[in-house]
Structure 1
Amino acid sequence: MPLQLLSQRLEKIHHDGLYRSLRSVERTTSQVCVEGRQALLFCSNNYLGLAEHPALAQAAADAAVQYGTSSAASRLVSGNQPLHQELEDKLAAWKGTEAALLFNSGYAANTGIIAALAGRGDIIFSDRLNHASIIDGALLSGARLIRYPHNDIQALARLLEQHQADGLRLIVTDGVFSMDGDIAPLKAIADLAEQHQTLLMVDDAHAGGVLGQQGRGTVDFCGVAGRVDIQMGTFGKALGSFGAYAACSRLVRDYLINRSRSLIFSTSLPPAVLAASSAAVDLVRCKEGQQLRQQLADNGTLLRSLLQQAGCKVPDGCTPIVPVMVGDAETTTRFSARLLEEGVFVQGIRPPTVPKGTSRLRCTVMASHSPEQIRQAAAAIVRVGRELGVL
């Protein structure tokens, strides 16, 4: 009977056009093989193309040979190695904070940080379009969760006035929103956080390595360095590695070490991953990193302008995330499938990842895309969009 119920629920997912399946994708370069079909890759978060960079591969290989393949324990048991501290020191220097703390993934970081900081009697103010891991962290915390309309500063100000607490209050927002590619108004949010004596946390997963001086992210890009209590960042996107971190004060770091369950009860990141991440931080801070960011920005501008000129519903922006708004979930699925037939791999994003009626193609550019590849992808999107009646 329980399995029959699962089968019925899965059938409803099929019926609603929301069914998902895993596809085998070889490599992460601009040209990939998707289950035997050659295609241009326009749905990767490998924004700077570092996942194939020889410096990262060599650093990972050297560390595996020298230190082995696993830390074999959590950091509070016996899995705290010099490479962990070296990377955290490098992260703090890069982000301009007192300290940093590593986590095993962006999801583990957000759930672990938020659930550690807030609890019963506390209040969390979260942007309505924040990543699912932020919402899950808030729910795990037991704190009261109040979601404010997307990037609506006036609404956030009213909610802060209306909802006081004897305990802690925390504002959490994405820096770059992963499905829309827009940027949070961090200066105005930081002003509110200071006015209302509220902690501020920014999830900068999609901005690290991409925006700001030396790729420091939206906190630097928006000019609020030193005014954000916790910057969460990841290595698995522009930095081409794996894992995540919190850049914060020493006090917050010490508190998280003692209270964050995703840190306390997880085997720590392995040496090869730590070494690759360290090499990535070095790379994004140097001249090559700046050149890659400029190429990435140029590529994003080119794809966005080509699609907008053809009549696609593409919002303005300056990030590598270029959504093509479709609306209907089933049409979006067909759009994505037809593009793969045309040699362009772009994922269709549907509920519950995005609100109902806002399904879209989430196109992403990489620094490694050539202008010709971008023009080829844009032409295919326009051609299929007209075929399906989206344009």
Structure 2
Amino acid sequence: MLSAAPLRKIIHIDMDAFYASVEQRDYPEYRGKPLVVGGLPEGRGGVVATASYEARKFGIRSAMSSKKALQLCPHALFVRPRFAVYKEVSRHIREIFSRYTDLIEPLSLDEAYLDVTEDKLGIGSAIEVARQIKQAIFDELQLTASAGVSVNKFIAKIASDINKPNGLKFIGPSSIEKFMEQLPVEKFFGVGKVTATKMKGMGLHTGADLKQLSEQQLIHHFGKAGRFYYHIVRGMDNREVQPHRETKSMGAEDTFPYDLTTLEEMNTELEKIAVLVAERLKRYNLQGRTLTLKVKYSNFKQITRSQSVTNPISKMPDIEAMAKQLMAAVHNEEDKVRLLGITLSNFNEPVIKVRGEAEWQLRLFD
């Protein structure tokens, strides 16, 4: 049952292993080898930013610690990211998009939604527009992208991930409801490992299972996200592609595969998260005056604590110190922690939102 709103033509473009692919393009000695872009494994708090497809075969994933990545693949190559180069490539990709539409919503340097309901060139077919964009990216940048095409953002995003790398998937209006019913719950955007485990514990394994619950039942079990699940499993997503949005916060969070029980363990994880936050602030030249610590406990209770400073911060040591101070203030020896997050806000200048999946949050595992 699709929404009664007019059907749009939405494309979700997602570059394939973007940072790693740029490095393999520019350095032939990296091609065909397991390549990890991010912090070096011998460094303090090194984290994987992107892994090549060769590295992913060993189980290496984004946001994994570099030391863990090295354990999984001892012969992997590790290189530091070159954000200036990635930004320039991203600018070129954006220019390619703009040949077809002005309705472009960037989610990050390597990902965007496009509304081509009325494309500039009068092509008329969103599938053909996506095909041409993919070809232009390959011809002009020697990189591959995957594209998902559908009538709304949610379905287009799922579609872009189906045939990666270098994929193109169309899910039309008549196919959406059946597609969503068959989709495993862990494939739903916003459903990570913890939520998926909770759903499966309730006997909810697919979209069809979710569909058996009323909106109020879903809200009861999953909070405000339950309303989103209710609509999306029915293919209903009326969100518009938004070309100009301001980000009000930037941060990162991590859900752990086991409970953290000591303050030392929590501080160790906060150090890793602080590295990620500092890297993202540096990438977009941002400084924030307010730091917010997010803590989710094993019983799913969640709290946030914030602290503001006169002089804006962006460096890892400052972020780490403030986060640990807030953590110490809320810590109780009986607490078991499953998720920690750090967010910076109250920026000096408004900036264009560069990642819009769930405010700006790098959701590592959930």
Report the TM-score when normalising by structure 1.
0.25
Report the TM-score when normalising by structure 2.
0.26
More helix by share: 1
- Structure with the greater relative contact order (CA < 8 A, sep ≥ 6): 1 or 2? 1
More strand by share: 2
